[in-house]
């Protein structure tokens, strides 16, 4: 026992999100911790959760001594947390109903020796390592004597040290005289925690503060706490320096054209804000993102503060986005909720619980402004920022929608979301020529050379499309105006096409004519050359004929002289004749 007192503090994890971090490992093991707070601060929950987590995670058995509430009441109250107390009660968790009913007659002084003896037997039986004395103030009030009170409390403390149990004592505070009277409790214990429940600007806030921790460093700040379906959580402010991994990986927005505008899509792990007036298809863009994530096989959580899951699926189906199959396969979880109460911390706490349960890579919050409506004061904006930081650290890509009419509304600045959003897309209505058309602009996108052009967003049962808008005569053309413009453009193009075709045909004709003329000329030439040949032939045969004819004629004439002449010109002595025959 002495040796244990001298040794360094060993710690016992409470399993309470955030608390183990701020105390650097949880509660002091083998020592006593006092949990103080007014009614409804979560003292009992804090204590019970420590036991439940011990039983579930560390397989440590525990005893819960209830001075104020019946154990049945405690089990019933804890049913909302999904801890399955009845199952734990059988093996790892023993409840002792230590209430003294009002019918009990008090006749003289009493002590807790008997109870501690009973508990000792139980501790040995179930090998318990943790014990809670819940509502010690009730017991102290019964003792009604400062000397006895002190004596019995020290008796418990000594008993805890002897048994080596890790003890948690909860004490209701509030009345000032009682606080002073029981002030010795704080000096007695090794660790003291104060829980608070206060109302700031009409919003309820729960907080936790470690006021004392012997032999250990701790953060003495007041931390907001939230009650979620998993129990109590601390909103840990996290490291002051923002360090998380960043990637260059791009993931699809679900709309190819938008991907192009963002040079490939959203950055993995970034947070995206889609703002716009009601009905500007913010949810549709969020739905596209969710569907694309599921198509890639990534776990996705869709948080809606507006509509039920079935309605979301049906509405998105109408524009060709199919979420139903992903929901069935378990890849997609749609969590529909109403904003509960005024405590923003609770809201973000609940979201954190949902995220831990589903473990998504992609997240949609539709709309974030449902939460930001509660962001009346700085603490809430802080909560929103912390939540987004938490997502960053987890590497979760989140698409938030936000109801916003203009770009610079107070809402955007109040939440600070617009400043911490990595990518901000704004969808607005442009009214022109009696039409309302949706115009999409990328207001900012960190680390991305994005398109700064306005695009028209159109929805149909075939799907969602982004179209170029036209600027003509200084006006942005959308809807019918754009259609007319396009028609006009098409007609103009058509006219040019027709004209070109006409010209082409004309030229073709001219070419054909030229070719035809060429053919004629060629034919003519051929005819001419043939003629020439014929002519040449005819000339040759004609001259031969002439000679032959002359021969024949000479023979016929027997003309000497003429023959001589002819002989002289033709061939000597060819024609036998008389001796003086000579050619002429």
Partner 1 sequence: MVAARAPEGGGALQLRLYVAGQAPNSLRAIANVKAICDEHFAAAHDLEIVDLLEHPGRGLADGIIVTPTLLKLLPLPIRRVIGSLSDTEQVRLALTGT
In the complex, minimum distance from the CB of residue 174 to partner 1, in angstroms, rounded to a whole number = 24
Q: Is 553 in the site for partner 1 (CB under 8 A)?
A: no
Token output for 57? 């995670």
- CA 45, 142, 104, 132 dihedral sign is positive
141 dihedral zone (left: phi>0; alpha: psi -120 to 50; beta): alpha
Nearest CB to partner 1, comparing residues 8 and 107: 107
Contact 303, 365 (CB under 8 A): yes
Query: CA-to-CA distance for 490 and 498, rounded, in angstroms?
Result: 12
- Residue 115 as a binder of partner 1 (CB under 8 A): the answer is yes
| Residue closer to partner 1, measured from CB, 127 or 578 | 127
User: Contacts with partner 1: how many residues (CB under 8 A)?
Assistant: 24
Length of the chain: 584
Tell which one of 3, 104, 240, 556 touches partner 1 (CB under 8 A): 104
284, HSE (Cβ side, Cα atoms, 13 Å): 23
Closest contact distance (angstroms) between CB of 89 and partner 1 is 15
Please provide residue 532's backbone torsions phi and psi, each rounded to the nearest 5 degrees.
Answer: -65, -40
> Which of the stretches 108-116, 338-346, 421-429, 478-486 binds partner 1 when contact is defined by CB under 8 A?
108-116
CA 30-31-37 angle, 5° bins: 135
Diameter over CA atoms, the chain: 200
Q: Cα separation of 530 and 527, whole Å?
A: 5
CB closer to partner 1, 146 vs 569: 146
Stretch that binds partner 1, among 97-105, 218-226, 419-427, 565-573 (CB under 8 A): 97-105
Among 74, 112, 156, 469, binds partner 1 (CB under 8 A): 112
Min dist CB 123 to partner 1, Å, is 10
C-beta of residue 263 within 8 angstroms of C-beta of residue 442: no
Decide: is 158 part of the binding site for partner 1 (CB under 8 A). no
Site membership for partner 1, residue 89 (CB under 8 A) = no
The footprint of partner 1 on residues 184-213 (CB under 8 A) is: none
Contact 439, 427 (CB under 8 A): yes
108 forms part of the interface with partner 1 (CB under 8 A): yes
Q: By CB under 8 A, tell whether 117 contacts partner 1.
A: yes
Minimum CB–partner distance for residue 153 and partner 1 (Å): 14
User: Binding residue for partner 1 (CB under 8 A) from 25, 110, 407, 583?
Assistant: 110
Distances (CA, A) of 226 to 119, 135, 351, 367: 32, 21, 11, 21
* Residue bearing tokens 């996290």: 238
Could you count the other beta carbons within 10 Å of the beta carbon of residue 254? 24
Among 6, 39, 90, 103, binds partner 1 (CB under 8 A): 103
By DSSP bridging, strand 191-200 and strand 32-37 are parallel
Task: Restricting to residues 118-157, name those near partner 1 by CB under 8 A.
Answer: 118, 120-122
Nearer to partner 1, 115 or 288 (CB): 115
Among 8, 90, 101, 576, binds partner 1 (CB under 8 A): 101
Contacts with partner 1 by CB under 8 A lie at 96-101, 103-115, 117-118, 120-122
């Amino acid at each position: 026992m002495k040796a244990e007192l001298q040794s360094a503090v060993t710690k016992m994890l409470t399993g309470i999100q955030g608390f183990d971090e701020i105390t650097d490992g949880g509660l002091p093991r083998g020592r006593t911790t006092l949990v103080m707070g007014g009614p409804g601060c979560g003292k009992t929950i804090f204590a019970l959760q420590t036991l439940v987590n011990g039983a579930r995670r560390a397989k440590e058995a525990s005893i819960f001594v209830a001075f104020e509430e019946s154990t049945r009441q405690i089990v019933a109250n804890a049913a909302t947390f999904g801890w399955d107390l009845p199952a734990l009660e059988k093996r790892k968790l023993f409840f002792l109903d230590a209430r003294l009913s009002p019918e009990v007659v008090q006749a003289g002084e009493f002590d807790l020796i008997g109870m501690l003896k009973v508990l000792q037997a139980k501790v040995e039986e179930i090998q318990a390592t943790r014990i809670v004395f819940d509502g010690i103030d009730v017991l102290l009030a019964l003792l009604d004597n400062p000397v006895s009170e002190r004596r019995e409390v020290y008796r418990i403390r000594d008993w805890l040290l002897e048994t080596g149990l890790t003890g948690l004592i909860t004490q209701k505070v509030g009345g000032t005289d009682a606080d002073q009277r029981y002030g010795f409790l704080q000096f007695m214990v090794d660790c003291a925690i104060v829980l608070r429940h206060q109302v700031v600007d009409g919003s309820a806030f729960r907080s936790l503060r470690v006021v004392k921790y012997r032999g250990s460093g701790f953060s003495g700040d007041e931390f907001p706490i939230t009650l979620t379906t998993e129990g109590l959580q601390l909103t840990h402010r996290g490291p002051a320096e923002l360090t998380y991994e960043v990637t260059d990986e791009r993931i699809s927005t679900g709309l190819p054209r938008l991907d192009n505008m963002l040079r490939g899509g959203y950055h993995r792990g970034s947070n995206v804000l889609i703002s716009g007036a009601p009905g500007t298809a913010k949810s549709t863009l969020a739905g596209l993102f969710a569907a694309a994530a599921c198509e890639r096989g990534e776990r996705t959580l869709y948080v809606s503060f507006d509509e039920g899951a079935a309605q979301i699926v049906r509405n998105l189906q109408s524009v060709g986005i199919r979420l139903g199959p992903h929901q069935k396969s378990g890849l997609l979880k749609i969590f529909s909720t109403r904003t509960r109460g005024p405590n923003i911390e609770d809201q973000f706490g609940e979201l954190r619980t949902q995220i831990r349960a589903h473990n998504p890579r992609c997240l949609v919050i539709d709309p974030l402004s449902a939460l930001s409506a509660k962001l009346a004061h700085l603490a809430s904006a802080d909560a929103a920022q912390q939540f987004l930081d938490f997502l960053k650290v987890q590497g979760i890509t989140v698409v938030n929608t936000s109801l916003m009419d203009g770009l610079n509304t107070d809402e955007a600045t109040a939440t600070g979301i617009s400043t911490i959003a990595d990518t901000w897309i704004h969808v607005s209505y442009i009214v022109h020529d009696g039409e309302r058309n949706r115009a999409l602009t990328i207001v900012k996108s960190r680390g991305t050379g994005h398109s700064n052009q306005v695009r028209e967003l159109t929805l149909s049962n075939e799907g969602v499309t982004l179209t170029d808008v036209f600027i003509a005569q200084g006006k942005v053309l959308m809807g019918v105006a754009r259609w007319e413009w396009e028609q006009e453009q098409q007609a103009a193009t058509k006219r040019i096409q027709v004209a070109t075709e006409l010209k082409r045909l004309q030229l073709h004709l001219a070419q054909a004519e030229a070719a035809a003329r060429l053919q004629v000329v060629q034919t003519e030439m051929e005819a001419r050359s043939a003629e020439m040949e014929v002519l040449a032939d005819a000339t040759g045969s004609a001259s031969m004929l002439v000679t032959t004819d002359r021969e024949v004629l000479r023979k016929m004439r027997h003309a000497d002289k003429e023959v001589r002449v002819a002989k002289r010109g033709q061939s000597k002595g060819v024609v036998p004749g008389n001796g003086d025959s000579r050619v002429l």
